[in-house]
Structure 1
Amino acid sequence: MFEWIHHIVNKITTLGFLLCDYKYASERKAVIIQDHLMSEVGQSHGGAGKSIVGNAIGHVVSQFFIDGKQMKRDDEFLLSGVTKATRNIFIDDVKTNFAFENLFAMVTGPMYVNPKGKDRYCIPLEDSPKILITTNHAINKANENATKRRIIYMEFSTWYNPDHTLVDDFHHMFFDDWDEEQWNLFDNLMAECVMYYFRSFENCWAREGAGAVPPPMKNIELRTLRQEMSEVLYQWAEEYFDPSGSHLNDRIKRADLVASFFEYAGGPAGHGVTRTNFKGKIQAYCKFKGYDFNIDRPNAEKLYYSDWKPLHPDESFIGSDDKSGGAEYFKVFSPAKEKELKPF
């Protein structure tokens, strides 16, 4: 019940953030709506109601719509049509590996618009529209600080799906079939969202300097880790580090692991995994599974596993490089398997 209420508060305060022009220096962010359901990277689950939120915003403030599936990475005319009166930019259904970093400057600074056939102009930060993005996928590099500090998340469950739609619960289409009473209810709800956003900001429901309360982040973090490691590496690691086998909790040469993965993946191309980034992706796999990495080495805080783990039982320990005899070694460690082997 608490988690459900947490999601409700997140949605109400985040809608309030999108509907008002107020931009506190520590809350210059874009809103990202994604699915709660965990799935393979690249697999979509539409019909959850994410786009309804964007449409709702567009019925209250001036909105510019962008079809995320048709977006080009370096489209100089992407914002052609945005004016100084635009209050919201709605980018709907962006693809896997969407380059959110391309929007960094316009999220936290002035917005430069290059209209087709007209002179380029700048909308100052205080007057620029806020950005709403919906996606069926995790955001690239979402664990990096530069990305984290620019995102407010909303998460949608699978209550609504292609087999169970809004019509089944409300017996009419949103917006199209509404009478005056429905529009009054909607307008009052939107006004209350703004009110609760400012109340949250004043009373620090999330933290000081923020009004939008983040949702429970566990699933969002897991989706990010799964996309970060790549689906091919995840599938390989699930087989290679199967708890019934001998590789989990064993110290193995990095070169042997890389060779095994490339053999499984059919070579070094087409999956985003390289010899250079392989370690980071294995560490992401450890965090996703609740495993630990290189437990015989100290972590970045110079703490050893035996001292750190009792204080962080639900987190993954990431030890430093383990090198000897001119080779580097990885150990992917499962506390659960260790307990099975040594119960006492």
Structure 2
Amino acid sequence: MSNIDIENEEIDLLEPELEDGETLSPHDVKFWKTTYETNKETGKARLKSITINKLKLLKVFFLLGFRRLDIDDQSTFIRIENNRVIKRITINQVIDTFFEYLDEKDFWFDDEKSLNLDMIKEKFITSPGSYFKEDKLYRLNLFTKEKIEFNTDTLNEKFLYYKNGFVRITKAGVEFNDYSKLEKYIWESEVLTRNFTFTKYENSYVGQFVNKICQSEAADVGDRIKALKILMGYYMHSFTDCKLMALMLTDSKISEENEANGRTGKSLFCKILGYMLSRNPEKLDVKTFIDISGKNFDPKEKHRYQDVGYETKIVVLNDLKKYFDVDCIYNDVTEGVTVERKNMSPYRVKPKIILTTNKTVKIEGDSSKDRFLEFEFSDYFSKKRTPEMEFKHWFFRDWDADQWAQFDNYMISCVQDYFVADCKLMEPEHINLNARKLKENTAVVFLDFMSDLKIQFNQWYNKAELFSAFIRRYPDYDNQKFKQMHFTGWVKLYTKYMPEFEEFKKERDEKRSDDVIEMMFRKASNVEDEIM
């Protein structure tokens, strides 16, 4: 039976009738019309023209999984793969996928074979702008009323996505489920490129690493490990409708020359979190985990977060410059970041932020103190003893399936620790953070001066006389750049960071009589009246 209707000069575009339970596939939709003319001498039909029905073509794109996604007044093209997995795509990817579909399709043509696949391809190649322009693809959602909703972590739940299924973590336990039980969509970048299995994790490499970076003779190691595991659970938990905080990672040891040593494992720690939230956090095209160079980070530059995507969960500002002011990113921590890209309208994302530095950072004011937690890495690792030397392999790159499974289960235990703690973070015990801050923000000679002063508590000291005594002892500081206010500032830092002292309060610990200003030192609890 001929598919060509000579009299009507076109092929019917009706879609096939479906049985109950059947769904329409892109191969069921005929998006072209052919017009024929009759050869007067032979009486045979000859192809005259091919017309593309743009609505039918758009339906093919829809059935291939393409959609328009609207987020915060921004429209982007996506493709739904494997039922619930969404991938962000470009128009070129729409075109490539469509031509792959043409090659796969078993087309039905007229019985004279006068129409073939190359003719249809030629039609699209000749004028692609007629079929693949944004204004046409923006109408993809004509064929559905479904609102795309993403599966997200909730107050009491954490989800992790693997090749073979997804994990749901709560305070009560851990469940592994098939994707058929997932009711909402997820980003492709969230699906980890490995399978999940339950296993013991006591000897996991990441657990050993955490134990070593928490080592300390000055603080309770068990409490430090507990606090850090809870923090790791916090960063893996992508729920942000809560009190958001930023973690400042720094070193515990500093050289005599006041230069930070570094290489203590801070970057590896951040990668450990990234490998739980992203397919490959070291690839620039993955937006779930973003690492931004702190050395080049300018908080006033409007494109500073241009690499952040809608699906970004963690932003790391790595290796911050000396004297970085955390107050300038306070709103970024608490309210989210504004992303500005060239030729795009700004949009807001609410990731959790980590900062790393080899130097201490000044965190002043009650608001900042309430939003920034500092954690010191022990000096176990250094350039002379790297994690690669210690563990005899590269993390992630050299792991087999069992080592990945131990890693996953250890990290899941961190999320459970976070839930068991009722989602409340612990202030990690410090090793010598205050001593480092004092040393980095004053001078060694000043510390010697204060130590030799043998301060008496609850007695008044003349500020000018203290300053004069200091510059007499260290004449290099008798210059126009170093003034009374600098010295007084150092004294206040001394009371703040030395454990024997109660922090200086101007309204309580300073008095003025004529031109004489005096200050008083108060002791902290459980110390003797005199510092020896």
Q: TM-score, normalised by structure 1?
A: 0.75
* Corresponding residue number in structure 2 for 1:315: none
In the TM superposition, 1:68-217 aligns within 5 A as: 68-123=294-349, 128-140=350-362, 142-201=363-422, 210-217=423-430
CA distance, structure 2, for counterparts of residue 90 and residue 42 of structure 1: 25
Q: Secondary structure at 2:428's aligned position in 1?
A: coil
- The partner residue of 2:518 within 323, 329, 335 is 329
In structure 2, list runs of 5 or more residues that go unmatched: 1-216, 278-287
Hey, what does 1:231 align to over in structure 2? 442
Post-superposition offset of 1:242: 4.4
Contact 2:254 2:260 in 1 (8 A): no
Task: Choose between structure 1 and 2: higher helix proportion.
Answer: 1
RMSD: 3.2
Aligned CA distance change for structure 1 residues 268 and 100 (closer, same or farther; 3 Å): farther
1:7 paired to 2:224: yes
Higher RCO structure, 1 or 2 (CA under 8 Å, sep 6+): 1
Per-residue deviation at 1:254? 1.8
C-alpha distance in structure 2 between counterparts of 1:84 and 1:181, whole Å: 32
Cα distance in structure 1, aligned partners of 2:298 and 2:395:
31
- Matching residue of 2:266: 50
Which structure has the greater CA radius of gyration?
Answer: 2
Give the alignment of 1:55-66 within 5 angstroms: 55-61=271-277, 62-66=288-292
Q: Deviations over 1:246-305 (max 9, x none)?
A: 674486532243354494335343xxx6544643430221343445589xxxx8699xxx
Alpha-carbon spacing, 1:289–1:151, altered in 2? closer, same or farther (3 Å)? closer
Q: Distance in 2 between matches of 1:332 and 1:192?
A: 46
| Pick aligned residue for 1:23 from 231, 240, 248 | 240
Gaps of 5+ in 1: 202-209, 303-318
- The AA in structure 1 aligned to 2:357 is T
Q: Does the CA-based 8 Å contact 1:35-1:155 persist in structure 2?
A: yes
* Matched-pair contact (CA < 8 Å) for 2:252–2:431: no
Letter in 2 for 1:101: D
Equivalent residues of 1:40, 1:231 under 8 A apart: no
User: Match of 2:309, as an amino acid?
Assistant: T
Counterpart AA for 2:330? F
1:265 maps onto 2:482 in alignment: no
Give the fraction of aligned pairs with identical amino acids, expressed as a percent. 22
TM-score after normalising by structure 2: 0.50
Cα distance, 1:159 vs. partner? 0.8
Aligned partners of 2:251 and 2:260 also within 8 Å:
no
* In structure 2, distance between residues paired with 1:180 and 1:150: 38
Structure 1 residue 31: Cα displacement? 1.3
Distance 1:96 1:42 in 2: 12
| Residue type of the alignment partner of 1:12 | K
Contact 1:34 1:50 in 2 (8 A): yes
Alpha carbons 1:293, 1:330 under 8 Å: kept:
no
- Output the CA distance in 2 between the equivalents of 1:52 and 1:143: 28
Match of 1:307 in 2: none
